[in-house]
Amino acid sequence: VAGLPPRVARLDDGRIAFLLSPVERVILGGYVEGLRDRVTPPPGDDAGEDGAGADAASGLEGAMPATRDPVLARLYPDAIPADWAASASYRDLVVRDLADGRLAALDTVARTLDATTLDDAQAGAWLGALNDLRLVIGTELDVREDDSLEIDEHDPDAERRLVYGFAAWLQGQLVDVLADALPYVADELTDAPEEDDQRGAADVADKAADADEGAADAEDGAASDDPA
């Protein structure tokens, strides 16, 4: 992907230029549309639909996370892994809202598939949908952090790997533009976490390290497509 002209930029009027090629729009549109089924949890995951029966079913889901679809387990993780029942009740509480949020983002992407400019909310929806797309492909292909970016054309998964890489590149540009629009927060306000008494010494060490922040930022930019 290196060498391609950027696809995302903040315009003077405040909107965000979104310069995908027609082919990129068709391919991404198809993949994002295909996400619709993947991000929708089965009814068994939602106790709200079926009363007591679903309650029992979702309790079972919570008790056996290994039996769940790995993609759904990644999109809707156990909140409290040490406590299956609590994880299940958390899931019952939020999974429908989370799924609705994901589907709403996919709707926005479908609506703006041909748009050449986006507002910040639309760009945020694209960012979320692209991240979900990469979570799904990454989980299905068991992508590792140190995987080579080279794609073997004989690999049956070559297209998905290509889309995965392109989505990461596009996502990085959306993040940069949207992060620039976040309000500035002075370090002092969040440097000392309110709850963490023992972190004092570590924070002092971190502050010393921050003296090199400029150099680190430059490096950050170069490595912005690396997974965390």
Partner 1 sequence: MPESPAKPGPSTTLEEVVRARPLPAPRWIVIVWNDPVNLMTYVTFVFRKLFGYSQSHARRLMLQVHHEGRAVVSGGTREKCEHDVARLHAHGLWATMQPD
Burial of 10 (0-12, 13-18, 19+ CB in 10 A): middle
Which token pair is 206?
Answer: 């971190």
Which token pair is 162?
Answer: 């290509």
Query: Measured from the CB atom, is 22 or 214 closer to partner 1?
Result: 214
Smallest gap from residue 224 Cβ to partner 1 (A): 5
Q: Could you tell me how far CA 214 lies from the centroid of its own chain?
A: 27
Q: Which helix (H) or strand (E) holds 132?
A: helix 120-140
Smallest gap from residue 196 Cβ to partner 1 (A): 7
Query: Measured from the CB atom, is 110 or 135 closer to partner 1?
Result: 135
* 220 lines the binding site for partner 1 (CB under 8 A): yes
User: CA triplet 37, 42, 45: central angle to 5 degrees?
Assistant: 140
* 90 lines the binding site for partner 1 (CB under 8 A): yes
Q: Which helix (H) or strand (E) holds 209?
A: helix 200-210
3-class SS at 178?
helix
Contacts with partner 1, 111-140, as mask; x by CB under 8 A:
----------------xx--xx-xx--xx-
Smallest gap from residue 146 Cβ to partner 1 (A): 8
Q: Which one of the spans 45-53, 54-62, 109-117, 188-196 is the region binding partner 1 (CB under 8 A)?
A: 188-196
Query: Measured from the CB atom, is 144 or 154 closer to partner 1?
Result: 144
Count the site residues for partner 1 by CB under 8 A. Answer: 56
Of the candidate residues 2, 11, 52, 179, the single one contacting partner 1 (CB under 8 A): 179
**How far, CA to CA in Å, does 133 sit from each of 45, 136, 150, 221?**
21, 5, 20, 23
What are phi and psi for residue 145, nearest 5 degrees?
-60, -35
Query: Measured from the CB atom, is 52 or 223 closer to partner 1?
Result: 223
What are phi and psi for residue 86, nearest 5 degrees?
-65, -40
* 97 lines the binding site for partner 1 (CB under 8 A): yes
Q: Which one-letter DSSP state was computed for residue 10?
A: E
Of the candidate residues 35, 72, 75, 123, the single one contacting partner 1 (CB under 8 A): 75
Which token pair is 6?
Answer: 């950027």
Query: CA-based diameter of the chain, in Å?
Result: 58
Q: Site residues (CB under 8 A) for partner 1?
A: 74-82, 90, 93-94, 97-98, 101-102, 127-128, 131-132, 134-135, 138-139, 143-145, 147, 168, 171-172, 175-176, 178-179, 182-183, 185-187, 189-191, 193, 195-196, 206, 210, 213, 220, 223-228
